[in-house]
């Protein structure tokens, strides 16, 4: 005689809860790893962006005998809004067509005309965008121009304290191109970001200054103004622990926010105060002070 096998299908409620708990634990373990991988990928992409810009800077220097001006002015006129270094690099970043459409006045006498504002000056330029720095296509804080997450070291590119041209060739950096910052990060999460067109609200739209260090949060929350807090001029990133920079020799470095920095100077100071502080020495191209390799 065959006996019918007593059995049951499916899970009991307790078993189901145990399975759900195990899945939740696994997800909890995986999420930090996924976030770490995403963060590393964003940092790598940011480094690649800076590498492209460093190459473009050198190409511009080779073609014109100097690096592009941070803000295109002339001896008597400082157009604001105006054309920034990012605009002048467009032909070296495979954006020659856009550069031609913008009809940039290379004499520095005029900035963006009404005919080219809007869609053209809001163009998304991939090398100017860091994945960790915010997803906005335009910078609503700075004239609604195209977003950039990178700012130039004005002490290298100019203009000078009177907003007059101060062009520098790479060969003219007496402290050494490998000891001088050329471009660094500015995010749009903790700070006001930047633009590849020089906005009229603040020079922070194109330049960065050392201030008291890296990743000092803009006190405006959200940081929705182009004027006021000097922190708007600082170098900031959303990578955590520091910022990416390209030096004047074209090398890319991630500089820790623990770098030795002058704590008595705010980011509005231009030029930055001189002294035996590593970050300030990396900003000054011709101060004659040795930097060393530990930064």
Mean of per-residue pLDDT scores for the chain: 90
Mean pLDDT across 124-132:
96
Q: What is the reported pLDDT for 116?
A: 64
Is 82 domain-assigned? yes
Closest CA to 157 of 91, 214, 83: 83
Q: Which of 7-16, 23-32, 144-153 has the lowest mean pLDDT?
A: 7-16
The string of pLDDT tens digits covering residues 92-121 is: 999 999 999 999 999 999 999 865 668 899
Mean pLDDT across 247-251:
97
Domain count along the chain: 1
- pLDDT of 2 > 80? The answer is no
Closest CA to 230 of 187, 268, 199, 262: 268
Backbone Cα Rg of the chain: 24
Output phi, psi for 198, to 5 deg. -70, 110
d(C-alpha 49, C-alpha 245), whole Å: 10
DSSP state of 8: -
Is 241 domain-assigned? yes
Is 97 domain-assigned? yes
d(C-alpha 231, C-alpha 193), whole Å: 11
The string of pLDDT tens digits covering residues 205-235 is: 999 999 999 999 888 877 777 788 999 999 9
Structure tokens at 68: 């592009």
How far is CA 272 from its chain centroid?
Answer: 19
Higher pLDDT pick, 72 / 292: 72
Is 182 domain-assigned? yes
Q: What is the reported pLDDT for 117?
A: 67
- pLDDT of 10 > 90? The answer is no
Let me know: does 94 contact 52? Beta carbons within 8 Å: no
Residue 143, Ramachandran bin (φ over 0: left; ψ between -120 and 50: alpha; else beta): left
d(C-alpha 127, C-alpha 68), whole Å: 17
d(C-alpha 268, C-alpha 231), whole Å: 8
Q: What is the reported pLDDT for 83?
A: 97
pLDDT band (50, 70, 90) for residue 35? low
Q: What is the reported pLDDT for 62?
A: 98
Q: Which residues, in sequence order, are CB contacts of 180 under 8 Å at separation 6+?
A: 153, 156, 173, 247, 248, 282, 283, 284, 285
Q: Identify the domain containing residue 56 by its residue range.
A: 13-283
Is 2 domain-assigned? no
DSSP for 76-93, written as a single string: S---SSEEBHHHHTGGGG
Structure tokens at 7: 């059995």
Share of the chain above pLDDT 90, in %: 72
Is 33 domain-assigned? yes
d(C-alpha 57, C-alpha 36), whole Å: 31
Mean pLDDT across 173-192:
96
Is 268 domain-assigned? yes
Output phi, psi for 199, to 5 deg. -75, 165
Q: What is the reported pLDDT for 1?
A: 46
| Beta pairing partners, 19 | none
Cis-peptide into 82, omega within 30 deg: no
d(C-alpha 153, C-alpha 206), whole Å: 9
Mean pLDDT across 24-39:
65
Is 193 domain-assigned? yes
Q: What is the reported pLDDT for 127?
A: 97
- How does 211-250 read in b/e, with b if 16+ C-beta sit within 10 Å? bbbbbbebeeeebeebeebbbbbbbbbbbeebbbbbbbeb
């Amino acid at each position: 005689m065959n006996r019918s096998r007593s059995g049951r299908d499916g899970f009991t409620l307790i078993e189901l809860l145990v399975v759900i708990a195990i899945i939740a634990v696994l997800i909890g373990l995986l999420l930090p790893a996924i976030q770490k991988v995403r963060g590393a990928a964003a940092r790598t992409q940011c480094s690649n962006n800076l590498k492209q810009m460093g190459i473009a800077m050198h190409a511009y220097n080779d073609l014109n005998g100097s690096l592009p001006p941070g803000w295109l002015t002339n001896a008597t006129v400082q157009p604001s809004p105006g054309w920034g270094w990012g605009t002048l690099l467009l032909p070296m970043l495979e954006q020659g067509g856009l550069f031609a459409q913008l009809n940039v006045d290379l004499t520095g006498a005029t900035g963006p005309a009404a005919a080219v504002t809007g869609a053209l000056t809001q163009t998304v330029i991939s090398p100017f965008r860091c994945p960790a720095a915010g997803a906005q296509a335009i910078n609503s804080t700075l004239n609604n121009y195209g977003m950039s997450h990178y700012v130039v070291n004005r002490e290298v590119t100019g203009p000078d304290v009177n907003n007059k041209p101060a062009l520098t060739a790479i060969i003219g950096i007496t402290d050494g191109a490998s000891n001088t910052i050329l471009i660094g990060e500015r995010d749009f999460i903790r700070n006001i970001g930047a633009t590849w067109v020089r906005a009229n609200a603040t020079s922070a739209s194109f330049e960065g200054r050392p201030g008291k260090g890296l990743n000092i949060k803009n006190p405006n929350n959200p940081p929705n103004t182009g004027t006021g807090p000097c922190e708007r001029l600082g170098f900031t990133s959303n990578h955590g622990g520091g910022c990416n920079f390209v030096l004047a020799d074209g090398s890319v470095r991630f500089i820790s926010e623990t770098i030795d920095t002058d704590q008595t100077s705010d980011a509005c100071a231009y030029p930055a105060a001189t002294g035996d502080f590593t970050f300030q020495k990396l900003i000054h191209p011709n101060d004659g002070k040795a930097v060393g390799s530990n930064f």
